[in-house]
Amino acid sequence: MTRALDLAESALHAAEGDEAEVLVHAERSGVARFAASIVHQPTLVDDAQIRMRIVRDGKVGWASTNRAEGLDELARRAGEAADQARPDPDFPGLAPPADYEAVSGHDPETAELGPDDQARLAGEAIAAAGEFGLYGYFTSALTQIALASSTGLRADQELTDAAVLSLAATEGASGWAEHTSWRVSDLDPAAVTEEATSKAARTRDAKEIEPGTYAAVLEPYAVAELLRWFSYDSLGAQGFIEERSYFCDRIGETVFDEKVTLADNALDPVNFPKSFDFEGTPRRRVELIENGVARGVVWDRMTAARAGDGHESTGHAPPEDWRYFGPLPTSFDLAPGDAASVDELAEQIGDGIYVTRLHYLGIIDSRGGVLTGMTRDGTFRIRDGKVAEPLVNLRFTVPMGDVLGEVPGLTRDRMLVNLNELYGERFPYGALVPSLATTKFQITGTGSGPGL
Amino acid sequence: MDAALGAGATYADARAVSLRRQSVITKNGQLDDLSDTESEGIGVRVLVDGAWGFAGIGRLDDSAARDTALRATAFARAASGRHRTALAPVDAQTGEYRTPLERDPFSVPLSDKIDLCLRAEEGMKHADVKVTVAMVRAQREHKVLVSSEGTNVEQEIYESGGGIDAYASAGDVSQIRSYPSQHSGVSVQGGWELVERLNLDGEAPRVGEQAAALLLAPECPAGRTTVVLSPEQAIMQVHESVGHPTELDRVYGTEAAYAGTSFLSPNDLGSLRYGSEQMNITADSTTPEGLGTFAFDDEGVPARREAIVEAGVLRGFLSSRETAEQLGAGAGGSMRADGWGRMPLVRMTNLHLEPGEGSFEELLADIDDGLYLETNKSWSIDDKRLNFQFGTQIAWEIKNGRLGRMLRDATYTGVTPLFWAKLDRVAGPEEWKLFGLTNCGKGQPGQSAHVSHGASHARFRDVEVGVST
């Protein structure tokens, strides 16, 4: 039993209601953040948040605290909230006990990393930066998530995660790389920096291009970010039942190129494997798009109950910080193609642009699946099937139906892209995606050049 | 602090923070979320041989505080790089501050908050409105800051807020209308009386009707035209294209890996033409009801009001003691941390577009053909804060000096100094409104800042609108 489950059970004893559930989300993390090759914002966090949900007469109240000595007070606040709430006829009750699939995702070496190690590994990344200043971080954490409820449900899991982010930059040049894993031994900070510096070295003297529709090769960083932003309204049940999703009235229809197959697979040991969601429902693989056909979205217990019609939770109840968005995919799995490299994808499109990563996306039209944002830290022209001169940062405004509508190819190799921006409580998640070629990527403006 | 100094720190500060947040969200006539969160802990920041270290722990007791100070010191000692951090001198501060308020928002029964939300939702009902949402929130942050330079300040800050959204859809069209702004409404520093002043249930029928009407409205055409931004959209423009680029840590590159840098350089101070002569931007951490109002920032620097842009010329940066020392000007005053577990960063406090003259109607009067853009819907801007694109929930044609047809899916785009150069009039103080945002992201690990902005209606000539995909 983890410390977190022990705490959850203690809190459950303090709860008074028809039903009660306690979630403990504990974190011990370190971020050695650096800029201009100097660690300037090193942050260590040690915390355990305890969230209690009490049900009385069909009414649900929530409260949370990080005061382990304040469990009676927590129970009082949650009970008061339940007393003053209104009954919700759709409330499906708390999750029943379940058998969970054994998953990996905890690495003792990663869990044990302390500030000296985090600073040392940041230093390894910095030392490889050569002529460039290095901006980014090394981070690692141990996260514990535990649930105990009056239904008899008991669940606990320890997750580790580590990431190296390297932005190699100087005036007029910048390149980006980030690698992540639940095992620190998978990461080579110097190699991450070398990927960034080799990209940065090719971005000097960036040129502008005319706005218009271009074919494009998108690196995994860019693909993951597009999927993440597309998912907010389109791949979760809340956007779906509230009619904001691109998938509304399209389930079962061919919406994208047949090469596009997307799942959410929290059980995959190559991602950040998780055995249960934040309600204690077992995680499972969910098919979202199969050979271009829209198959479904992800659900939690509440959205499934509200929708009725045979829907059930797919194990995607969100952490507290995301409850506003409802259930969302957190383990994207985009099927690979057969291209040997991004160079082969460039050959396939012949003429277009090459995009390393994206910045500051926004949703222009949720139902239409239209996103905007900027390219950044490695944008190039593709001419005659080869990656050619560097470009300034480009504003794109793209319907996802276009981006994924005609996909000449995807790479065989995939990478796990970190999607956790480290807000709120630690919750590692990522996207396992290949590079992707598209025939349509709308550029609607130009911005500043690469670099500082 | 004593433990950090004993372990070799040359500077140390410690913030003990106790935070409570409560929110009520109703959706489609049901209670969607009722949360009551508290978190307390201590964050210790140290300088060791010129290198920063920071550690936070979610406990408030002596042993946790000492252990955290030692961890922060160890992290600083292990940090890579040639560290030469120096801080602009600031006198040691002592004092207390508490938000003036009439009614503690936590004293209002949850059932009253739920009732208000449900009444507001009821008012938004319409056949084409598929989803209605109402939200109210309250926050109390009690914090004590002590530093090795003798600062010892205590502050208790209350926030209250609320908002409503109506989502309409028909066929392939989906539209949203919100009040008083999107992004979870608005918040102010103050008590429950400020939520009552929002009149959420009174505004609800208009919000529902406009959401439904947007389904039938034509799309905003593409082209170049005169635009008038509502105060709520003008403050988003200020936030993204003035606030963030004038954060001095971005100017010096320390946010390069996440939020980005800035098109400004330190040498631009006092000389760069940011916009037209009608552009006056002020940072003011003393604004009544502002979410960025305090007596002392999280480095203990006293609150003040200062010009950032005067008559279109860059006159100031938002700074910390460290970046002010680098610049050789100012003394910080904009350092804010998201709770006990994050290092303070240079953040906006309350950043305002100062009012000009005249009414909204007078602003419209000499526009033959243009657009009035109201309520932010989407926002995106590049890493140097130059190229931006905003979408608004609703737009209105302006024809011969008067508002005309409603339009949907309006967007406009531009490049920061070129856009602000086109500002030719700002309406007067009677049109000036204050908005509080709670979702300003920055930093690694990420931090959400609560900031306020005020603006009147603002008119810009020759703007690219209706970006075509």
Give the C-alpha distances (Å, rounded to integers) separating A105 from A182, A187, A279: 6, 15, 19
Residue A320: pLDDT band by 50, 70, 90 thresholds? confident
Q: Are residues A153 and A7 in the same domain?
A: yes
Instruction: State the DSSP string of A145-209.
Output: EEEEETTS-EEEEEEEEEEEEEEEEETTEEEEEEEEESSGGG--HHHHHHHHHHHHTT-SS-B--
Contacts of range B60-65, beta carbons closer than 8 Å, 24 or more positions apart:
B60/B16, B60/B18, B65/B3, B65/B14, B65/B16
What's the gap in Å between the CA of B430 and the closest CA on chain A? 32
Q: How confident is the model at residue A152 (pLDDT cuts 50, 70, 90)?
A: very high
Q: Would you say B46 and B76 are in contact if contact means Cβ atoms under 8 Å apart?
A: yes
DSSP string covering B98-160: E---SS-GGGS-HHHHHHHHHHHHHHT--TTEEEEEEEEEEEEEEEEEEETTS-EEEEEEEEE
Q: Closest partner residue to A62 among B35, B258, B446, by Cβ?
A: B35
Alpha-carbon distances of B89 from A124, A413, B45, rounded to whole Å: 34, 54, 17
Final residue before a domain boundary, out of A200, A229, A249:
A200
Please name the member of B78, B258, B386 whose beta carbon is closest to the beta carbon of A447. B386
Both tokens of B308, joined, read 């950032």
Query: Cβ of B36 and A133 within 8 Å?
Result: no
Hey, are the CB atoms on B40 and A48 less than 8 Å from each other?
no
28-47 in A: which are within 8 Å (CB) of B?
Answer: 29-47
How many Å lie between the alpha carbon of A218 and the closest alpha carbon of chain B?
18
Sort out which chain B residues have CB atoms less than 8 A from A361's CB and list them.
Answer: 380
Q: Which residue has the tokens 């109607």?
A: B361
Kindly state the percentage of chain A with pLDDT values over 90.
97
A34 touches A137 (CB < 8 A): yes
AA letter at B435: F
- Residue closest to A436 by CA, chosen among A366, A335, A359: A335
A304 and A339 belong to one structural domain: yes
Adjacent-strand bridge partners of A370: A365, A399
Please provide the average confidence, as pLDDT, over all residues in chain B.
Answer: 96
CA distances, A216 to each of A241, A310, A346, A378 (Å): 33, 40, 8, 13
Of B354, B200, B330, the C-alpha closest to B269 is: B330
pLDDT in tens, A342-385: 999 999 999 999 999 999 999 999 999 999 999 999 999 999 99
Q: Please name the residues in contact with B331: beta carbons below 8 A apart, sequence gap of 6 or more.
A: B88, B89, B90, B301, B319, B321, B324
Both A157 and A261 in one domain: the answer is no
- The helix (run of H) or strand (run of E) holding residue B458 is strand B458-465
Q: In whole angstroms, give the CA distance from residue B182 to residue A253.
A: 33
Per CB-CB distance under 8 Å, the chain B contacts of A399 are: 469
Across residues B449-458, what is the average pLDDT?
98
Whether pLDDT at B80 is above 80 = no
β A59-65/B345-346 pair status: unpaired
Half-sphere exposure of B329 (CA within 13 A, CB side): 12
**Assigned token pair, B394:** 């609703």
- For residue B469, what pLDDT band results from cuts at 50, 70 and 90? low
Contact in structure between A79 and A103 (CB atoms under 8 Å): no
Question: A with B: how many residue pairs have Cβ under 8 Å apart?
Answer: 276
pLDDT digits (tens, 9 = 90+) for A398-450: 999 999 999 999 999 999 999 999 999 999 999 999 999 999 999 999 989 99
User: Which of the four pLDDT bands, split at 50, 70 and 90, describes residue B79?
Assistant: confident
Whether the CB of B54 is below 8 Å from some CB of chain A: the reply is: yes
**Domain shared by A335 and A189, yes or no:** no
Dist. CA B192–CA B196, nearest whole Å:
7
Is the model's pLDDT at A2 over the cut of 80?
Answer: no
Task: Quickly tell me which residue has 């944008």 as its tokens.
Answer: A379
B41 touches chain A (CB under 8 A): yes
Cβ within 8 Å, pair A41-B383 = no
Cβ contact (<8 Å) for A444 and B469? yes
On whether any CB of chain A is under 8 Å from the CB of B138, the answer is no
pLDDT per residue as tens digits for the range B388-441? 999 999 999 999 999 999 999 999 999 999 999 999 999 999 999 999 999 999
- How far, in Å, are A43, A70, A191, B294 from residue B86 at the CA level? 19, 41, 33, 24
Q: How far apart are CA A52 and CA B435, in angstroms?
A: 33
Pick the residue from chain B with its C-alpha nearest to A137. Answer: B444
- List all residues of chain B from 285 to 324 with a beta carbon under 8 Å from chain A: none
- CA B175 centroid distance within chain: 24
The enclosing domain of A186 has a CATH number of 3.30.2290.10
Does A376 lie in the same domain as A328?
yes
Does residue A193 sit in the same domain as residue A239? no
A48 touches chain B (CB under 8 A): yes
Judge: A445–B413 Cβ closer than 8 Å, yes or no. Answer: yes
Residue A295 CA to residue A235 CA, distance in Å, equals: 10
- Establish if A12 touches chain B: CB-CB under 8 angstroms: no
Confidence at A128, pLDDT banded by 50, 70, 90: very high
**CB within 8 A of B361, min separation 6: which ones?**
none
Q: What are phi and psi of B287, to 5 degrees?
A: -60, 125
My answer on whether A193 and A281 are in the same domain is: no
> Rounded to whole angstroms, how far apart are CA atoms A34 and B163?
38
Question: Does the pLDDT at position B184 exceed 80?
Answer: no
Only one residue has tokens 């003792």, namely A108
Show me where the domains of chain B are located. Answer: 2-216, 223-465
CATH 3.30.565.10 fits B2-216, yes or no: no
Query: Do both A182 and A235 map to the same domain?
Result: no
Q: Find the mean pLDDT for residues B149-178.
A: 95
Q: Which residues of A208-230 are buried (b: 16+ CB within 10 A; e: fewer)?
A: eeebeebbbbbbbbbbbbbbbbb
Give a yes or no: residue A341 inside a domain: yes
> Pairing mode, if any, of strands A352-365 and A212-218?
parallel
- Give yes or no: residues A425 and A293 share one domain: yes
Same domain, A156 and A217: no
Contact call for B31 and A85, based on CB within 8 A:
yes
Label residue A304 by pLDDT band (50, 70, 90).
very high
User: What residues in B contact A119, CB-CB < 8 Å?
Assistant: 75, 78-80
Q: Out of A398, A447, A452, name the one closest to residue B256 (CB).
A: A452
Whether residue B445 is preceded by a cis peptide bond, meaning omega within 30 degrees of 0, is yes
Q: How many domains does chain A have?
A: 2
- Tell me which H or E stretch contains B76: helix B62-78
Q: Distance (Å, rounded) from C-alpha A411 to C-alpha A345?
A: 8
Residue that finishes a domain, picked among A162, A178, A200: A200
Confirm whether A123 is domain-assigned. yes
Strands B223-229 and B369-381: parallel
- Nearest residue of chain A to residue B440 (CA atoms): A423
Shortest Cα distance, chain A CAs vs residue B366, angstroms = 30
The type of residue at B125 is K
- Is A133 part of the contact surface with chain B (CB cutoff 8 Å)? yes
Share of chain A above pLDDT 70, in %: 100
What is the pLDDT, as a whole number, of residue A299?
Answer: 98
Contacting B residues, span 256-285, partner chain A, CB-CB under 8 Å: 256-258, 260-261, 263
The verdict on residue A452 lying in a domain is no
Cβ contact B155:B293 at 8 Å:
no
Mean pLDDT score of chain A: 96
- CA distance between the termini of chain B: 56
Nearest to B467 among A167, A423, A444 (CB): A444
The reply to whether omega before B180 is within 30° of 0 (cis) is yes
**In chain B, which residues have their Cβ closer than 8 Å to the Cβ of A90?**
30
pLDDT-based confidence at B380, cuts 50/70/90?
Answer: confident
Q: What is the radius of gyration, based on Cα positions, of chain A?
A: 23
Rounded to the nearest 10 degrees, how much is the dihedral formed by the CA atoms of B104, B110, B112, B116?
100
CA atoms of B292 and B283, how far apart (whole Å): 10
- Measured CA to CA, the distance from residue A250 to residue A372 in angstroms comes to 23
Q: How far does B356 lie from chain A, in Å, by closest CA? A: 30
Q: Which residue of B has its CA nearest to A396?
A: B469
Beta-carbon-side half-sphere exposure of residue B207 (alpha carbons within 13 Å): 30
Give pLDDT, residue B300.
97
What percentage of chain B has pLDDT greater than the value 70? 99
**In contact, B229 and B457? CB cutoff 8 Å:** yes
The closest CB to that of A84, out of B37, B114, B173, belongs to B114
- Give the residue among A245, A324, A334 at the shortest CA–CA distance from A289: A334
What's the domain range around A138?
3-200
Tell me the average pLDDT across B55-76.
97
The model's confidence at residue A242, banded by pLDDT at 50, 70 and 90, is very high
Same domain (yes/no): A125, A225: no
Q: A19-35 and A133-149: which strand pairing?
A: antiparallel
Nearest to A303 by CA among A316, A322, A319: A316
Residue contact B37–A362, C-beta within 8 A: no
Count CB atoms within 10 A of the CB of residue B401: 14
A404 found inside a domain: yes
A361 → chain B, closest CA residue: B380
Residue A451 maps to a domain: no
d(CA A78, CA B35) in angstroms, rounded, equals 8
Distance CA B63, CA B67 (A): 6
What tens digit of pLDDT does each residue of B99-135 get?
999 999 999 999 999 999 999 999 999 999 999 999 9
Residue B83 has pLDDT above 90, yes or no: no
Q: For residues A131 and A154, is the Cβ–Cβ distance under 8 A?
A: no
Domain boundary among A143, A169, A200: A200
pLDDT bucket at B468, cuts 50 / 70 / 90: low
Q: Is residue A206 part of a domain?
A: no
